Structure 1
Amino acid sequence: MAEEVLSQNEIDSLLSALSTGEMNAEELRNEEKEKKVRVYDFKRALRFSKDQIRSLSRIHENFSRLLTTYFSAQLRTYVNIEVASVDQLPYEEFIRSIPTMTILNIFSVPPLEGRILMETNPNIAYAMMDRVLGGKGSSVNKVDNLTEIETTIMSHLFERSLENYQEAWGSIVDIDPMLEEFEVNPQFLQMVSPNETVVVVSLNTTIGETSGMINICIPHVVLEPIIPKLSVHYWMQKEQPKDRDPEEVEALSRTLKGTEMEMRAILGEADMSIQQFLEMKEEDVIRLDQAIDQPMRLKVDDEEKFYIQPGKSKNKLAVQVIEEYRGGAGQDE
């Protein structure tokens, strides 16, 4: 641990305070002997570092963008989803914080162990339901008596959204999310022990004029195998470009050099109406937009690349490159 070095003025002031009695040397000794104790709540164990929490936040920010696009296409209305917070807390505390009756999607994420819970506020869930059934997206909170048809529609809507969750995690681990259960009462749900640490990602969600929260609860047991991959060091290693194999570069270069492209020498262009075109007859003259004293242009795959002049080479028509085309600057001004 680095030691603090005092200046001469600070040393003189300290000695003066001790000699005048402003500071008590005995009290200073007692303070040094006292053990510094930090309070730690074992019921609220913090098992993830700030670095790992930031990585989880980054993953779910990507997920929120993908989910916004998915629900916008499915519901055909204004949708906005963004990460509000990422916290770690006991599972029991999370269950107490959500409504008594709500929409709960429980899905597994093989090859990782355990299950993840996605809790959707009833206001949001019924706004989605109303849009799917052709309504304006209004919300009616009657989650306690879902019909079989409503349950099927909702579960299918959220099940298809799991493809976005798979894509969001793609940079860390290749998972295959599968919806296993659809519940409405959290009291009937016991995924892990009450004191198990979980990460709760809260998403602010707006659908039309209705707003609410989507909470994703990830138990520690799910993340434990990939915790090392949630560090900044892993992300930086992954983002560093790898040196290409020289043989691979050479093969790619040969392939590119052998690619064919279309080149056209443009003598000039003209605009005319369909009526003028239909009235054309033999020996009519079409006036081009190219002056006779200006160089022609060479197009490569419909992009102008060079100024050229016409001529012959070995009794064949040819063009000679004069200079590179610079988007209108130079000779044609």
Structure 2
Amino acid sequence: MAQDILSQEEVDALFKGLAGGDIDTEAEAPEAQGGIRKYDLANQDRIVRGRMPTLEVINERFARLWRVSLFNFLRRSAEISVGPVRLLKYSEFIRNLVVPSNINMVQIKPLRGTALFIFDPRLIFAVVDNYFGGDGRFHARIEGREFTPLEQRIIRRLLDLVFKDFKAAWTPVTNLAPELIRSEVNPQFVNIATPTEVVITTGFDVELESGSGTFHICIPYGMVEPIRDQLTAGTTADRSEV
């Protein structure tokens, strides 16, 4: 068997190369084989894929309840279309909000964390116009102003209806109690999650006789972790639908 033994001349040349820096002594990390790459198992993008059938049922029930409440409040019919349940980064959601928006920071007991219940300005002005018997011919300027004291009173009554119907919609699955923490008009002042944290959002498009707008619910994914299995289990978790 051949022996891999260096001659004296080869040894001298090797030491000379090391001393002169001609030979790289840094060991290169081996490349991943077979296309394998590192993956962060804690990354929420990986964890939260998949539908939440029970949450979709809850959203539909909430829309039905809220439609009745809006009729009793305004004495006018409202059509509500429920958008899909979306999972996206918090920064993506918040940057699409217009100013001013009525952004309500909400605690949902017993869950830990803060959710957002948001009325866009078009919806606020449509509700106010309908409340006072308007027909939508006169449009208030939206950009660059805060809501008036009168508009804020209407918003608070509207939010009370949302809280009541939200609680009722969730009751067949679990008991939740929403409570207002505070309200803002500028998304820059609302930090309920880190920019990369995943949130669950749903939009409810409301069509009134004199205008339309959207109501959004935004809940950090980590907030619903204790009840995640109930939300992904399908309609069997919803006792009222069986």
Calculate the TM-score normalised by the size of structure 2.
0.75
User: Structure 1's 38 and 140: CA in aligned 2 closer, same or farther, altered over 3 A?
Assistant: farther
Query: Within 5 A, what are the aligned runs for 1:167-178?
Result: 167-178=168-179
| Structure 1 equivalent of residue 131 of structure 2 | 132
Q: Which runs of 5+ in 1 are unaligned?
A: 1-32, 241-333
Query: Within 5 A, what are the aligned runs for 1:253-332?
Result: none
Based on CA coordinates, which of the two structures has the bigger radius of gyration? 1
1:194 offset after TM fit, Å?
1.4
Cα RMSD over matched residues?
Answer: 2.8
User: Structure 1's 195 and 172: CA in aligned 2 closer, same or farther, altered over 3 A?
Assistant: same
Distance 1:237 1:56 in 2: 10
Q: Check conservation: 2:125, 2:140, Cα contact below 8 A.
A: yes
| Structure 2 equivalent of residue 236 of structure 1 | 236
Tell me, what secondary structure is at the counterpart of 1:145?
coil
Q: Which runs of 5+ in 2 are unaligned?
A: 1-32
Runs of at least 4 residues off by over 4 Å: 36-40, 237-240
Distance 1:156 1:230 in 2: 29
Percent same amino acid at aligned positions?
Answer: 27
Distance 2:195 2:102 in 1: 20
Tell me, what secondary structure is at the counterpart of 1:50?
coil
Tell me, what secondary structure is at the counterpart of 1:204?
strand
1:181 offset after TM fit, Å?
1.5
Q: Check conservation: 2:123, 2:212, Cα contact below 8 A.
A: yes
Query: Within 5 A, what are the aligned runs for 1:9-24?
Result: none
Q: Check conservation: 2:116, 2:218, Cα contact below 8 A.
A: yes
Deviation track 1:89-123 (CA, whole Å, cap 9, x = no partner) reads 11111111111321212221111111221222211
Distance 1:199 1:109 in 2: 14
Q: Which amino acid aligns with 1:45?
A: D
1:45 aligns with 2:45: yes
Tell me, what secondary structure is at the counterpart of 2:47?
coil
Calculate the TM-score normalised by the size of structure 1.
0.56
Distance 2:131 2:177 in 1: 26
Tell me, what secondary structure is at the counterpart of 1:165?
helix
Tell me, what secondary structure is at the counterpart of 1:155?
helix
Q: Which amino acid aligns with 2:213?
A: G
1:230 offset after TM fit, Å?
1.5
| Higher normalized contact order (CA 8 Å, seq sep 6+, divided by chain length) | 2
